[in-house]
Amino acid sequence: MHSAIDDLITAARLHEASFQGVPPILPRRHLAIVTCMDARIDLQRIFGLEAGDAHVMRNAGGLVTEDVLRSLVLSQRLLQTREIIVMHHTQCGLHGADEPALRAQIAAETGEPPPYAFGAFDDIDDAVRDAVARIRADAFLPHRDNVRGFVYDVATGNLREV
């Protein structure tokens, strides 16, 4: 049976054949980006990035979770990033989602609710502001002064600062 994974393995073999060496371990732009896992978000095209330019943390909703904060602390303290972009996007699956209903559905199917929050939100700009504020409030991050939040419009390609 053929799968999408098989296609990706074929592409990886082609990549390996033309591989030109390891980029430096320190991100060239000293930048970290927190964004959503949505497949429509192509950070390389949006920001003109190349391999080795920035650290990228992705999860459902581009939420600033404990694990994202952990990754940002390591990014700054060990790998010299100094600036952070938080980028949410339009048409996000978490925007307007009914989190209590989702939790109830999962509990009904499995016998217990998930031990984590999903992070549904009603106002995308408020969600970006909250994410930026959470980063700026983290005392373990030595560089919290240049954290900026954006919303990317998946329908138009427009990037606007919040």
How far apart, in Å, do the first and last CA atoms of the chain sit? 46
Task: Evaluate if pTM is beyond 0.75.
Answer: yes
Tokens of 18: 């033309």
Q: Are 61 and 119 in contact (CB under 8 A)?
A: yes
Q: 59 and 36 in contact (C-beta within 8 Å)?
A: yes
pLDDT digits (tens, 9 = 90+) for 65-116: 999 999 999 999 999 999 999 999 999 999 999 999 999 999 999 999 999 9
Q: What is the pLDDT of residues 33-58, one digit of tens each?
A: 999 999 999 999 999 999 899 999 99
For 102-151, how does the pLDDT look when each residue is reduced to its tens digit (9 = 90+)? 999 999 999 999 999 999 999 999 999 999 999 999 999 999 999 999 99
